[in-house]
Amino acid sequence: MSYKEIKIFEYMHKYDYENVFICNDNSTGLKAVIVIHDTTLGPAAGGCRMWKYDNELDAIHDAMRLARAMTYKYAAAGRELGGGKMVIIGDPKRDKTEALLRAAGRFIERLGGLYSTGTDVGTDLNDMVNIYKETRYVITLPRSYGGAGDISPATAFGIVESMKIGAKKVFGSESLNGLKVSVQGLGKVGSEVVKLLDKLGAKVIVCDISDEQVNKISKEYDVKVVEPDKIYEENADIFSPNALGGILNFDTLKKLKVKLVAGGANNQLESETVGDELHRKGILYLPDYVVNSGGTVYDTYRLFHNVHNHEFAIEEVGNLIRQNIQKIIEISEENEIPTYLAADRLAEERIKGAAKARGIRIPNERRWYW
């Protein structure tokens, strides 16, 4: 079903959303949407994405999908936060201005703490500083502003730690030395993944739509470069998608030769039926919102400890992700269900427990898997 075939309120009812805020500012040209999915665990948080969408409904539904993923990500990561997302419609290379970002900050401030933001596709730390000029509700900030700084290394660290747990299950050892890993996307996270894999002795295959990024990585590391549409066909052991979502579909599944999928891209499965098919084919899929939660855990460390300590925060990233990936594999095997369902069960169990403790009634329509 395409976004155009989904009605907003029906979609909200089906997946139990709380709010969708449409934001417009004529003076700056800002057109944005803020989505609050679930605040059972705490106030909503999630990155601010800026992207050139084909139409407004695509932007709204992307924000909704991403907000729901944040609910599950925070729940699985043990954070007292709910899921939210902000999407700004526009070309980040052409339309982004300080005035536009400050306007976005004013809309966030209006919500009074219901939603806090951070970096995402199309935004960076400098953008967060501009938003911060208008609202205190910004999580991802430079260290000079009291934040954790660039969180992409922590995200990449979590991805590789996930790979190790997955490799132990599939190949019998956590060692990635000698394994072939195809990395799709060489942005901040993908580049860091390549760096870590190179240190661990993996044989890395890369692709990106940016020739500049490909050239930079190929000069720094011994990698095999392939065209973006050929990455699925590589005779690799592990596939690590680190670009945009929806790339695991029935067309790409026909081409995949890997035994393990672990990457940082959000919403990798085009549909849940694709997750079912991965399970049927014996490919171990490590759910994206758990695999890529390293940056989130690292970034929010200061919120729960009143200080940011790099060493302790990174240690927490490794411990949480390794434990969660192991739990997901165990739940999947014990209940004979795909790993994406196992991850949802892990997250939903925590949300349900928090709701019960606080006397919050969970609507019957919400989909629980047990």
Q: How many H helices and E strands in the chain? A: 13, 12
Catalytic residue among 73, 85, 180, 188: 85
Q: Which two tokens stand for residue 59?
A: 């932007």
> Which letter, b or e, does each residue of 3-24 get, where b requires 16 or more Cβ atoms within 10 Å of its Cβ?
beeeeeeebbeebbbbbbbebe
Count the neighbouring beta carbons within 10 Å of the beta carbon of residue 252: 18
d(CA 200, CA 30): 44
296 CB neighbour count, 10 Å cutoff: 29
Nearest CA to 61 out of 106, 5, 16 is that of: 5
Laid out side by side, the sheet with 284-285 consists of: 223-225, 203-207, 180-184, 238-241, 260-261, 284-285
d(Cα 18, Cα 2) in Å, to the nearest integer? Answer: 22
- The length of the chain in residues reads 370
**Helix, coil or strand: residue 291:** helix
For residue 308, is it left (φ>0), alpha (ψ between -120 and 50) or beta?
beta
Is 219 among the residues known to form the active site?
no
Cα(220)–Cα(202) distance, integer angstroms: 15
Q: Which residues are catalytic?
A: 85
